[in-house]
A and B are shown apart, each in its own frame.
Chain A
Amino acid sequence: MKKYFPYIALAFLTVIPLLELNSYLMHILILVVMWSVIGMAWNLLSGYCGQVSFGHAAFFGVGAYTSGMLYAKLGISGWWGVPASIVVVTLFALVIGYICLRLRGPYFALATLSIGVILRIVVENLVQVTGGDLGIMIRERSWIEKTWFYYIILAIAAFSYLLVKKIIGSKLGYYFVAIREDQDAAESLGINTTLYKTIALCLSAVITGFAGAFYTNYMGYIDPKVVFALHDISIIAIMVVMVGGVATFSGPIVGAIIMVVLAEAIRSIPMLGTAHHTFFGILLIVIIIFLPNGIVGDFLKLKRLVGLARRPS
């Protein structure tokens, strides 16, 4: 049963548009799927390979801008950005990896954080190339209905899920986990840590880039402050995985559901609308103190906390 659960969930998700939900609910659904894609990407690099990144907005933004620039400069459909982002994001990831992957732990985290900020400022300042703060607007919407957007992001999500699952089940995945657990030990066993960390970074970056390219086409407007946002992209990517469960397959999905629904719920309460970061922050603090491995990772602990689990006799 458990083995087939992902397929059942996928089948269920495929038929959801037949319910003819209103467009707000579809929007939330699309956001949930998009965030689970970003979460899976972050999880691959940080959860499995142990390289905690604070700068996934960099890859998201590069993906988004690839799409936007193809539309704005070459005049072709922004959807070409999805395949094109593979090349562009990989190149960026290689450069970023070359600089950052020689660092470890918190240093890597902060180097990636600063890369995200550097990219934002560069895009803001290169007005002739990127349009600067004005951003890029996609004038023709591909579809009015959200159904096709939903299927596209769902396909990306399914692809990412399978990719992550395949990788983690393979030799590569074991290398990643070995690097996370002890980099020196991994190296002494003959694992080329730099190579495998770079592979993890590139894969993670490409998946995030997909989400970025999708975002451009879906929202129809991007600007550097939105797509390179530290708090609204990079940190939320971390939170999605932290809340859901680090180094679990379903963690990012659970986390994405919780984060998106929570964000929308808080925003819809009139008095508390501005306070959503406070709630996120408190949620993050509570999760780290009580469930450091997330809801999925510490499910048993959560049960025990709530008092549902049977006590061991």
Chain B
Amino acid sequence: MSSVQTEVLLQTLISGLLLGGLYALIGIGMTIIMGVMKIINLAHGELMMVGMYIAYVLFSAFHLDPYLSILVAAPVLFLLGVALQKFLINPVMNVDSILPENQVILTVGIGMVLANLATIIFQSDYRQTPVSYGTKAWYLRDLWKHSPIELSLSMPWSVSFAFAVAITGGLWFFLTRTDMGKSIRATAQDNDAALLMGVNVGKMRVITFGLGSALVGAAGCLFIPIYYIYPDIGGQFTLISFVITILGGLGSTVGAIIGGLILGLFESLTATYIGMGWAPVGRFVIFVAVLIFIPGGIASLLKSRKLGK
């Protein structure tokens, strides 16, 4: 392998890893919702789009840095998620109908409304937040003069990645160390048992949906410095987060992190070696392959390893 090829490969792996970190954050939001409520939230990407537009508006109106707008977007998305869960999804959980997939179809409806409202308010133009550090990068040769290969690390990408890691760490702390987090995990594990142990399951559901929305809203803010936005961006991220969730194993947070990283790497590799346009196909090939060969996702692999010991 010549040095150029090595360079390309390493560069691809780096960008894949950074992308994967952000994907993981989106995936976690969906996986905790799925774990606790057992429904697939097909409006997930649209919620992320709302977060992105909040960051965009704050940037263009007040020049607020997109990373700071997480502090606004996450609470707003939390409230939005709580409202959606309370007034739309909860009533449907109790309605009996022929098709049990009604809740999934309902979230599709919510997503359609959100995306279309965004089109009406912001038009379907592609927009960007031109942050001053948008094109900055660190180069390997600046640090190590005689390095045989040249690698670069984009600054906004790495900052976003660092934020994603920090938020994930915070979430991990919340889920494992606080009472409420433990209640949420209990609800995810066994609804009825949690109810018997005195967990307010209804409230946990509402909070989980809010939390999942807040996470994906934060992810939207992290994407804003490196991506452009348009109202229909949500659908694509809904699919990505769903693929991550399946890849990671339903409701498994660790699985979602690993799944996000794998997907990011894989996409980045397909984009480099096969072609930009084919990257989404690679995504779905993974999806279908996982469904066929490891239906339980990475979580099931981890579990079987643990049990085997």
Please list the residues of chain A having a beta carbon within 8 angstroms of any beta carbon in chain B.
46-47, 50, 52, 54, 99, 102-103, 105-107, 109-111, 113-115, 117-118, 121-122, 124-125, 180, 230-231, 235, 238, 242, 246-247, 274-278, 280-285, 288-289, 292-293, 297
Contact = CB atoms under 8 A, between A and B. Distances in A.
Contacts of A103: 291, 295
Contacts, number: 130
Interface in B103-121: 104-106, 108-113, 115-117, 119-120
Contact of B235 (A107, A230, A289): A230
B198 interface: no
Contacts of A125: 275, 277-278, 281
A109 B88 contact: no
Given A118-B281, A277-B119, 15 more contacts: A52-B99, A52-B105, A107-B246, A110-B40, A113-B239, A117-B284, A125-B275, A274-B120, A284-B108, A285-B106, A288-B92, A288-B95, A289-B95, A292-B92, A292-B102
Interface in B264-300: 275, 277-278, 280-281, 284-285, 287-288, 291-292, 295
Nearest to B87: A289
21 contacts: A47-B98, A50-B99, A52-B99, A52-B104, A52-B105, A99-B291, A107-B246, A111-B288, A118-B284, A125-B277, A125-B281, A247-B98, A274-B116, A274-B119, A277-B115, A278-B117, A281-B110, A282-B113, A288-B92, A288-B105, A288-B106
Contact of A288 (B109, B285, B291): B109
Given A274-B119, A277-B112, A284 B105 contact: yes
Chain B interface residue number, banded: 35 or more
Nearest to B275: A125
Contacts of A180: 98
Nearest to B88: A285
A276 B115 CA distance: 11
Contacts of B102: 288, 292
Interface string B233-246: 00100010011001
B97 interface: yes
A109 B95 contact: no
A121 B95 contact: no
Contact of B98 (A54, A246, A278): A246
A284 B243 CA distance: 25
A235 B95 contact: no
Nearest to B245: A110
A29 B67 CA distance: 52
A102 B284 contact: no
B179 interface: no
Contacts of B106: 284-285, 288-289
A37 to B, nearest CB: 20
Contacts of B125: none
Interface in B30-44: 39-40
Contacts of A289: 88, 91-92, 95, 106
A61 B96 CA distance: 33
Interface string B213-244: 00000000000000000000001000100110
A117 B113 CA distance: 21
A282 B275 CA distance: 39
Contact of B116 (A114, A281, A284): A281
A134 to B, nearest CB: 14
A275 B231 CA distance: 13
Query: Which of B112, B115, B116, B120 counts the most A-chain CB atoms under 10 A from its CB?
Result: B112
